[in-house]
Amino acid sequence: MSWLDRALGRTKPAAPDLDQLFAVPSAAITLATAGFTPTGIGSVCFKAAEGGAFAQTEADIRALLDVDAGPPVELTKDSYGYSWLVVRHDPEDVAGLVTDLHAVNLSLQDAGFGPALLCSLVVFAGTVANEQRRLGLVYLYKRGTFYPFVPLPGQRRDNALELQIRGLLASDLKVEDDLARWFPVWGAPGL
């Protein structure tokens, strides 16, 4: 970073730290104390690129993850034009799910598509005030941080519960401090 950037208060963006994903299994144990259990659904969100190189990378990722004869990896698109590569595991196998999500992120990054990565998501379910809720634990690729997302019907979110979960997970995960970066992931698979 140059002296001019420092003088103007510009900061260098945090480098992605995909190994942060491996903290999710311990966070899952903490979330269980709040009544949230893993659903076995995880996904990686990215802006798909045109061309043969991206198509080949995507095919390689699917082949890698589909090798264990488990449920096939799904590719879906949301209403905002983002692609979601959805991975399913036994809900008890959070470590296996996270390993697959890490492999997807790393494969895209190593193939030069890191700038296209947006986030990864691990879905939990629980009951709050006698109502079923879904909780998305969102990993921001470009920030190397997590935040909770709890959608409500009608494209609303439970901000109070999200803040409560943030406090609960502070010792397990690197939680995003800037609440403005806690963007909603409406229509994300599993939520």
Q: Which residues contact 34 (CB under 8 A, 6 or more apart)?
A: 126, 164, 165, 168
Q: What pLDDT does residue 5 have?
A: 62
Note the pLDDT of residue 15: 59
Q: Which of 19-23, 144-148, 149-153, 158-162 has the lowest mean pLDDT?
A: 19-23
> For residues 65 and 87, is the Cβ–Cβ distance under 8 A?
yes
Q: What is the pLDDT of residue 14?
A: 54
Task: Give the pLDDT confidence score for residue 10 in this predicted structure.
Answer: 59
Assess whether pLDDT exceeds 80 at residue 96: yes
Q: Are 78 and 188 in contact (CB under 8 A)?
A: yes
Q: With beta carbons less than 8 A apart as the criterion, state whether 46 and 117 touch.
A: yes
Look at residue 46 and tell me whether its pLDDT is greater than 80. yes
Indicate if the pLDDT at residue 155 is higher than 60. Answer: yes
User: Residues 117-134: pLDDT tens digits?
Assistant: 999 999 999 998 888 999
Reported as a pLDDT band with limits 50, 70 and 90, residue 73 is confident
81 pLDDT band, cuts 50/70/90, is: confident
Following DSSP, what letter does each residue of 169-180 receive, concatenated?
HTTTS-B-S-GG
